[in-house]
Amino acid sequence: MAERDPAWKALQKPSHPHDSARLHVSGEARYADDLGEPADMLHLAFGQSSEARARILSMDLGAVRAAPGVVAVFTAADIPGANDVSPVAGDDRLLADGEVICQGQSVFLVAATSQRAARVAARLGKIEYEVLPAAITIVDAQAAQALIEPAQRMARGDAAAAMDAAPRRLAGRFEMGGQDHFYLEGQVAVATPGEDGQVHVLSSTQHPSEVQHLIAHMLHLSSADVTVEVRRMGGAFGGKETQAALFAGAAALVAHRTGRPAKFRCDRDDDMVMTGKRHEFEVAYEVGFDEVGHLLALSLHLASRCGATVDLSPAINDRAMFHSDNCYFLPHVEVVSERLKTNTVSATAFRGFGGPQGMLAIERVVDDVAAHLGIDPLEVRVANLYGPGRETTPYEMVVADNVAPQIIARLRETSRYDERARAVAAFNAASPVLKKGIALTPVKFGISFTTTHLNQAGALVHVYADGSIQVNHGGTEMGQGLYVKVAQIVADVFAVPLSAVRITATRTDKVPNTSATAASSGADLNGMAAYNAAAAIRERLTEFLARTYGCGEDGVHFTPGGVLVGAETLTFGQVARKAHIGRISLSSTGYYATPGIDYDRSVFKGRPFYYFAYGASVSEVVIDTLTGEHKVLAVDILHDVGRSLNPVVDMGQIEGGFIQGQGWLTTEELVYDAKGRLLTHSPATYKIPTASDRPKHFTVTLWDGENVEPTINRSKAVGEPPFMLANSVFSALNRAVAATMPDNRAIPPLDAPATPERILKAIAGHRAGHRAEP
Amino acid sequence: MAGVRFLLDGEVVDLPEVDPTATLLDHLRYKMRRTGTKEGCAEGDCGACTVLVGSLENESVAWRAVNSCIQFLPMVNGKALMTVESIKAGDGALCPLQETMAANGSSQCGFCTPGFVMSLHGRSIGAKGCDLPVADVIAGNLCRCTGYGPILDAGENTPLQERGEADLADSLKALTSKSGSGEWQGRLWFAPRSSDELAALLAEHPDARLIAGATDVGLWVTKGLRELGTVIFLGDVADLAQIEETDEALILGAGVRYADAHAAMARLHPDLGELVRRIGGLQVRNAGTVGGNIANGSPIGDGPPALIALGALLTLRSVDGRRTMPLEDYFLSYGKQDRRAGEFVESVHIPRPGADAVIHIAKLSRRFDSDISAVCGAFMLNVTDGAITSARVAFGGMAATPKRAATCEAALIGKPFDDATVTAAIEALKADFEPLSDVRGSSAYRAETAANLLRRLWLRHQGMAISVLEVEAFDG
C-alpha cells in the first residue's frame, strides 16, 4: 500500500508549522507537570546511592519517615512484582536490592505531600555500605574485564593481509566523550489509581508500551490493567526511550500502594545524575592505504563505556559498527567492538544511537591519512566513496541509493569549498595566534531499527459523522513534528484540510504493542500505518458511494474541492453522514511493517537497513592558540530527506541536529571524579550550545531527490542523520590545530569534546609529536 | 506592611503571609496554575521560567526579564508581573512575536518556548538590558531542539512596541510605598527601602542573610534545600542602586544590577563591558548585582578580578559608619571576607583608567555565553615612555579568592614594556599561583592560560588579532 501517486498530491504544499506551535508560544501546550493536581496527590523523590559500587549493609530510614510531609517510604521489598525498569536484560532495578552499582542509583523512594518535602526527606536516609572496588573508566573496566556482553566483530576480506601489503600504514587512537540529553522538560510521570487495581500513567516517554509492560510486571497486573499516555514531551532525544520507566515505575508503585495519585517530577540535577547518557568511546585504529589515500585495510577497535547495566548498549554499539564505514568502501576491514561495564549510570540511547561514534571514528581515520599524505582530507573522502563496483558494506548490504558523491560534489561547489580552503591557508600564514580550519564531511545513516522486529507500527483513525477526523498512532511527539506529519498524511488521504484532523495523545489503550519512537523511524512507520488506516476507510467510502450513486468506483474522487461522485460533488462531512446512515464503519486500524530487511546478528551480515539517508556539511572554524577557545564561523549543509513530508519541520530537525552535534563535539563535557560521581550535573557546569554558538553563516539546503524505496511520500527519516553533520566541525578544528605546525604530517591528538583545554593540549601534542613527510 | 502584593495583568495579587524563600515560579505554577512558565533547571541557567518584572523607576515602569525559579516571592513585592499568559491580545489573538514564532519553526518540543517568548517580548517592549544583539538578549535561554535560527529571526523581525503605561505606573505607586516585612513559621524577612534602614535592621539582626538578586543564594534553596533563617532583601534599597559617573571614577552602589551597570562599565573600558556581557544571561544580569558578586566572596566571580585590576575601592557600612578598602583586601580566604557583623557592602569605586593605561580583561570558559570562568584574568599596566610605571594583575579561578599576582606585578613595574619583560613576568607568574584542578579546568590549563593571557595583552598591544570573536568567516 505504498503507491506514490496520486495519494500524495495534497503534499504538493507540505509546509505546515508544528501542530502545537500556537500552543507552544502561548504557553498553553500542556506537559505532564501542567495538569491540575488533586489535593491528595503525592510527590516523590529517590534516596540515592552515594557509592559507585557497594553492598548495602543496613538502611535506617527512620528520619526519612519522620520528616515533615512524608506519607510513605518504599524500598525494594515493597515492590509486589518484578523490580525491573530495564528494556531488555532485566538488570535495571527500580530500587536497589542488596547492592548498588552506580552513584546516584535509586535506593529508596519517598512519597510526601510536596516535592520539596520529598526531596528534603530523601537526603535523610542513613545507609551503611560495604564499599566494593568499582570500575569508573573504560580503562578500569578493561583492566577488570568487565563487559556487558562479549566483544562483537564485524569483518570483510582479510584486513591483516591487506594491511601487510599496503604501501603505507598508520595507527592512531582518540577518545570521544558522552553527552547528556538535556531535554528541557526533565523526567516526569503522574500515576493515577483506577478501579479494580488499574492504573493510568501520564509519562514523558518515547516508549509508552514498554513503560506499560514494565509497570504491569512490577505490580503483578496484566498489560490491559495499565494505560500509559503521552501527549507530548518537552524534548527527549533518546533520553526518554528507556529512562522514563524509572520515574513512571516509581509513580505507579506509589499510586498502587497508597491509592493516591502520585507525581514524580525529577529535579534537573538529580535527572542528570540518575539518567543515562550517550556512550563515551575510545577508538584505536590501524589503516593501510596507498599514495593517493585509498583505504586498503582497516582495523578498528571501538571501546565504549556502557555503564552499570545493559540497557540498549548492544544495539547502540552494533550501530556504531554499522556506521564505521560511513560513505566509504572498505575492501578489507575488521571492526571489533568492546562493550565495557562500568559503575557509572548506564549509557543509553541518544540521537544517532552509536552512529555518531562509529562515523566520527572513520572520519578521524580519513583525516589522519590525509594529514600523513599532506593533502586535503576531502580528496581522501572522495577517493574512497561507495560507487559502481564498490557498493557493498562490510556487513554485505548493497548501498543501492548512494547519493553521497553527488551531494559532496554539489556542496563542494555551492559552498566554494576549494576557494575557501585556500583562503583559510592564507589566513593562517598571516595569523600567528588565531588559526582557521575548514572541512567537508559526509553522512550516510542507515534507517531502521537494527533489531528487526521493532520495525512495525499501528494506527487508529476515526472519521466522525460530521466529517471530522481523529488520528492516533503508536508514535510519540517529542518536538520532532511527527504528529503534524502523520496528520498531513491522513488529511491527504481524504483530501481534507489539515484542520479537519484532530491529533490525539499517544495511548497504549488505543494502539497496543508499539515500538519506541526512535531510530528516526517515527514518520516512516507510523505515517504508513496511519495511511493504511485512512486508506481502508477511504476504500469503504468509495465502495459505498459507488454503490449508492450507481457509478463505478473510478467515478469517486476525493479532492480538495469535495468528494466527486459521478456528476455530484459532496462535502466530506456529507459523505461521512451518509456513510454512517448507510451503516458503514468509519473507524479503522492500520498496520505497517518495514519490508525487505533481514539481518543476522550472529555474523553481522545482511540488510539491517531499509535505506540510507545522506547529507554533507562544510564547517569553517577558528581557534585561539593561546587559550584554546574556538568559534564555528560558517556552516553550509546539503541534506537528503527524500521528498520532504514537511520542509519546515525537516529544516528544524537538520539545524537542531547539527547544533546538538556541535555541542557534543565542543562544549558539552561530562566530568566524573575518581569515585564515579558526575561533577557536571547541572547547566551551570554542563554547557549545551547557546544562540551565539550558532554560526553566523549557516545555510541549509534540502537535496532535491526522493527515496528509491516506497516510503511514505518517498520521504526519508530525518531525526538522527543531521546530528552527524557536525562531524565537520571536529575535522575543521583538527585542521586548525594542525595549522599551528603545518609541516607536521601527523593528525593532532585532539579528543572530543574539543573544549578549550583539549584544544590547547592538542596544540602542545601536535608541536611535540612531529611526524615527518613520508 | 506585612506580606507580598504584586500586580499581575493589572490585578493585585495579595499574599498576606508568604514563605520568604518560596520561589515565584512555584507560586505561579502550583498556586496560581499559570503553567505556561516552565521549570527547566531551577537554578537560573536555562531561562524556561523567564517572566518580566516591572518596577517603578523615575515615574515609569521599568521591565526586566528574570528567572522566576530563583526569585523569592518577597522580591516581587510592589512590582508588576508579566508571564507568557499575559501577552496575548485582549481578543485572545497571539501577539506579532508569537505569530512569527509559531509560523517560522521557532518551537519544536515547545518547552523552552515560553521563556524565549518572554525574553524577546521584553526586548520588543524596551525592557532593561535589551539594548544588545538578539543573541545576547536570549543568551540566558537554552533551546535543545531548534539550533536557535528561527528564534533569532523572530527576534530580529519583531518590531519594537510603544507602551503607554502611565496607568500601570500609577497602580504601582498605589500598591506600596512601605518597606516590606513578614514572618513565616518563625522566620523573619525584611525588605528595607533605604540603606539607613538596612543598617539599623542589620544591627538588630546581625545573623540575617542578605539577598540581592538571589542568583547565588537562590540555589542554596532550590538545590541545597537549605533554610535561610532571617533574610533581608536588598532589592528595594533605593540608595544602593545608584550609578555615579564622574571624570575620575565610576561609583556603583552595591545593589546596582549588572545589566544596569553594563553601559557605564563598558564606557569605563570596552573589555569591562565585554566581561559584563558574558556574566550569566540577561536574566541573571537583571537580578545579580555588582555588590552581591563581590560580597559572596566567590573565587570565580567575574567582577572582582577586573575591578581589582582597575584599582577599585570597596566601601562597607554599618550603623557605626563606613570603612573603605582596596577591593582585594576584602577577600581574606576561601569563604571568608572582611565583613564584620552588622556591615553590608555599600558601594564600589572604580577609578577611570588614565590615558597611559594598557588594559586587558579576559574570561575563559567552555562556552562563551552564560558560563562561569575557568580563569578570569585582568591586567592594567600604566606605560609612560615605553616603561611600565605601575602594574595591577588579578585573577579569578586561580586561587581560593580573587587575587593579585604580586610577583608578576613586581616583574613588570619599572621595566620597559617589551617582549622580554612580558616573558619574564609570565615566568614570575608561576610563583603567584598554585591553581586547583576542578570541573572547569585542570591546574595545568589554568596556569598555562593565565600566562598566555598576559602574552595576549602584549600581542594585542602590538596590534595583533587575538580574539576568535573578532574573526569573520571567509564569506562572513
| Contact status, residue A722 vs residue B410, Cβ threshold 8 Å | no
Between chains, do B146 and A656 touch, taking CB under 8 Å as contact?
yes
- Catalogue the long-range contacts made by A567-576 (C-beta closer than 8 Å, 24 or more residues apart): A571/A467, A572/A467, A572/A494, A572/A495, A572/A496, A572/A500, A573/A466, A573/A467, A574/A467, A575/A467, A575/A541, A575/A545, A576/A463, A576/A464, A576/A465, A576/A466, A576/A467
CB A493 within 8 A of CB A538: yes
Is the pLDDT at B190 greater than 50, yes or no?
Answer: yes
A185 to chain B: which residues are within 8 Å by CB?
38, 40, 109, 111
Report residue A199 as a C-alpha cell: 492504573
Residue B81, beta-bridge partner list: B8, B53
R_g of chain A computed on alpha carbons: 27
B23 to chain A, closest Cα gap in Å: 12
The DSSP-derived string for A17-69 is --TTHHHHHHT----GGGS---TT-EEEEEEE-SSSSEEEEEEE-HHHHHSTT
**CB-based contact A628 B369, cutoff 8 Å:** no
Sorted by where each begins, the domain ranges of chain B are: 1-177, 238-351, 357-474
Question: What is the model's pLDDT at position B165?
Answer: 85
Grid-cell match 524565549, residue found = B116
Chain B hits for A269, CB-CB cut-off 8 Å, are 43, 223
Contact A246/A271 with Cβ under 8 angstroms?
Answer: no
Distance from CA of B141 to the nearest CA of A (A): 7
Taking residues B93-111, what's their average pLDDT? 96
- Beta strands B180-184 and B209-211 are unpaired
Contacts of A692 in chain B (CB under 8 A): 135-136, 139, 368-369
Mutation for testing the A interface, residue in B118, B145, B153 having most A CBs under 10 Å:
B145
Q: Which of A210, A241, A709, A720 is catalytic?
A: A720
CA A687 to CA B281: how far, in whole Å? 13
Lowest mean pLDDT among A51-65, A71-85, B168-182, B362-376: B168-182
* 3-state SS assignment for residue A205: coil
B82 has a chain A CB within 8 A of its CB: no
Q: How far apart are CA A31 and CA B42, in angstroms?
A: 17
Percent of chain B with pLDDT over 70: 99
Inspect the interface and report whether the beta carbons of B473 and A680 lie closer than 8 Å. Answer: no
Which of B111, B152, B475 lies at the smallest CB-CB distance from A31?
Answer: B111
Question: What are the cell numbers at B387?
Answer: 616603561
Cβ contacts (< 8 Å) between B29 and chain A: which residues? 33-34
Instruction: Search chain B and give the residue with CA nearest A37.
Output: B30
| Model confidence, pTM | 0.97
Cβ-defined contact of B473 to A695 (cutoff 8 Å): yes
Query: pLDDT for B270-309, tens place per residue?
Result: 999 999 999 999 999 999 999 999 999 988 889 999 999 9
Indicate the residue of A433, A652, A685 with minimum beta-carbon distance to B459. Answer: A433
Q: Which residues of A touch B144 (CB under 8 A)?
A: 181-184, 235, 237, 656, 660, 688
Asked if A761 and A735 count as a contact pair (C-beta separation under 8 A), the reply is no
Instruction: List CB contacts (< 8 A) between B143 and chain A.
Output: 184, 691
Contact with chain A for residue B64, Cβ under 8 A: no
Nearest-Cα residue of chain B relative to residue A268? B41
Q: Which CATH number fits domain B1-177: 3.30.460.80, 3.10.20.30, 3.80.30.20, 1.10.3720.10?
A: 3.10.20.30
* Residue numbers in A near B124 (CB within 8 A): none
Q: Which residues pair with A121 in a beta bridge?
A: none
Residues of B in contact with A29 (CB under 8 A): 110
Hey, is the C-beta of B113 within 8 angstroms of any chain A C-beta? yes
Q: How far is A622 from chain B (nearest CA, A)?
A: 6
Contact B219, B43 (CB under 8 A): yes
* Residue in chain A nearest B117 by alpha carbon: A25
Regions in chain A scoring below 50 on pLDDT: 1-10, 12
The predicted pLDDT at position A576 comes to: 98
Taking contacts as CB-CB distances below 8 angstroms, the residues of chain B near A671 are 439
Distance, in Å, from the CA atom of A762 to the CA atom of A750, rounded to the nearest integer, reads 5
A667, closest residue in chain B (CA to CA): B366
Q: Do B471 and A685 touch (CB under 8 A)?
A: no
CB neighbours of residue A139 within 10 Å: 14
What pLDDT was estimated at residue A3?
40
Beta-carbon separation of B103 and A23 below 8 A: no
CA distance B295 to B291: 6
Closest-CA distance of chain B to residue A105, Å: 18
Q: What is the C-alpha to C-alpha distance for residues A696 and A633, in angstroms, rounded to an integer?
A: 6
Integer distance in angstroms from the first to the last C-alpha of chain A? 58
- Reported for A770-773, long-range contacts at CB under 8 A and 24+ positions apart, including other chains, are A770/A741, A770/A744, A770/A746, A771/A372, A771/A744, A771/A745, A771/A746, A772/A745, A773/A374, A773/A743, A773/A745
Give the torsion through C-alpha atoms of A559, A561, A567, A571, to 10 deg. 90
| β pairing state of B387-396 and B209-211 | unpaired
- Residues B21/B232, Cβ–Cβ less than 8 Å: no
Q: CB of A729 within 8 A of CB of A631?
A: no
| A200: enclosing H helix or E strand | strand A199-203
Do B296 and B215 touch, CB atoms closer than 8 A? no
| Residue B108 at interface with chain A, using a CB cutoff of 8 Å | yes
B45 → chain A, closest CA residue: A683
In B, residues 372-401, which contact A (CB 8 Å cutoff)?
372, 374
* Cβ A471 vs Cβ A586: under 8 Å: no
CA A64 to chain centre: 38
Nearest by CB to B145, from A23, A116, A656: name it: A656
- Cα dist from A488 to A711, A717, B108, B172, whole Å: 15, 16, 17, 49
Report the residue of A690, A696, A725 to disrupt the B interface, i.e. the one with the largest count of B CBs within 10 Å: A690
Question: B357-474, superfamily in CATH?
Answer: CO dehydrogenase flavoprotein, C-terminal domain (3.30.390.50)
A267: left (phi over 0), alpha (psi -120 to 50) or beta: beta
Q: What is the pLDDT of residue B300?
A: 87
Mean pLDDT along residues B340-369: 97
Label residue A104 left, alpha or beta by phi (over 0 means left) and psi (-120 to 50 means alpha). left
Give the span between the Cα atoms of A119 and A263, in whole angstroms.
13
Q: Determine the distance in angstroms separating the CA of A29 from the nearest CA of chain B, rounded to an integer.
A: 8
Which of B105, B147, B468 lies closest to A629 in CB terms? B468
Q: Is A149 noted as a catalytic residue in this protein?
A: no
Reported as a single tens digit per residue, the pLDDT across B103-132 is 999 999 999 999 999 999 999 999 999 999
Residues on chain A touching B449 (C-beta within 8 angstroms): 626-628, 756, 760
CATH number of B238-351: 3.30.465.10
Across the interface, whether the CB atoms of A691 and B41 are under 8 A apart is answered no
Residue window 15-54, chain B: list those with CB within 8 Å of chain A. Answer: 29-30, 33-43, 45-46, 48
Average pLDDT, stretch B222-245? 97
Using CB atoms, pick whichever of A29, A233, A682 lies closest to residue B41: A682
- C-alpha distances in angstroms, B328 versus B293, B310, B375? 13, 11, 17
pLDDT at position A11 is 52
